[in-house]
Amino acid sequence: MKLANQVAIVTGGGRGIGRSIALRFAAEGAAVTLAATGRDALEATAKDIRAASGRARVAVTDVADEAAVRQMVEGTVKEFGRLDILINNAGIAGPTKTIVEMDRAEWDRTLAINTTGAFLCAKHALPHMIRQKSGRIVNITSIAGRIGYALRSPYAVSKWGMIALTRSLALEVGGHGITVNAIAPGAVRGERIEAVVKARAEALGRKPEDIEREFFLDATALKRLIEPEEIAATALYFCTEEARNITGETLAVSAGFRL
């Protein structure tokens, strides 16, 4: 039980990577708050955690809404008594368009969720961690935060921003015993990557299977997609005592994307 008696918030905790992280952390003994905008997915994940004798609470939260984030964090501390871990996983894919075709609202919303949301969650979680002189923050960025990404510029910009936020926060809070790291996944198997592949294929007039092979498989050393459980395992490591001297880092879990 590597996280026994600890309390974690996992944003975007109802589906995909967030669900896998929440399930893994609960299995390791953590009480988990699941936060996202879709109640049904959150409740389903919470049900699975409780069925395995874990502790979970649901907080329907738009991470771009500061009042909602504050309520989510305060509700966690009120119910579980403390806060040890924040997983900033909530995010959206954003539009698949050229800059010329893109609406300002699409650009703003992508950055609001993916980057500003992580900032707001950290802002309201950190006072509790600082008070107890310990804590772990893990930001789920993307390999897109390290490359140029035609037709997905707001997504790439938002993920580059998360890497900068990770390093900046690590410097600010290291003196309080808090570590801040990021994981940069490659293409993770699930509904999100299926939608991304489909949108890119439509934009380019290509077949989805060709887009998946050329851009997401052939571009990796291992020629495969990532499983969400593999991201959960990495997030768990960052939150254990073994990783106490790792901070400000971004680790790619990408099957060797473009090595």
CATH number of the domain enclosing 156: 3.40.50.720
Choosing from 25, 107, 119, 155, the catalytic residue is 155
Classify residue 200: in a domain, yes or no: no
Classify residue 86: in a domain, yes or no: yes
pTM over 0.85: yes
Name the token pair of 141: 């960025």
Classify residue 57: in a domain, yes or no: yes
What is the pLDDT, as a whole number, of residue 258? 87
Classify residue 216: in a domain, yes or no: no
Classify residue 104: in a domain, yes or no: yes
Consecutive 10-residue averages of pLDDT for the chain (259 residues): 97 98 98 98 98 98 98 98 98 97 98 98 98 98 94 97 98 98 97 94 95 94 97 98 98 92
What is the pLDDT, as a whole number, of residue 81? 98
- In terms of Cβ atoms closer than 10 Å to its own Cβ (0-12, 13-18, 19+), residue 112 is middle
Separation between Cα atoms, residue 35 and residue 14, nearest integer Å: 8
Query: Does the annotation mark 155 as catalytic?
Result: yes
Separation between Cα atoms, residue 240 and residue 31, nearest integer Å: 15
- Residue 73's domain comprises 7-188+227-253
Classify residue 221: in a domain, yes or no: no
DSSP 121-132: HHHHHHHHHHHH
What is the pLDDT, as a whole number, of residue 148? 87
For residue 106, give every residue at least 6 positions away whose Cβ sits within 8 Å of its Cβ, in sequence order, or none. 94, 95, 97, 154
What is the pLDDT, as a whole number, of residue 259? 66
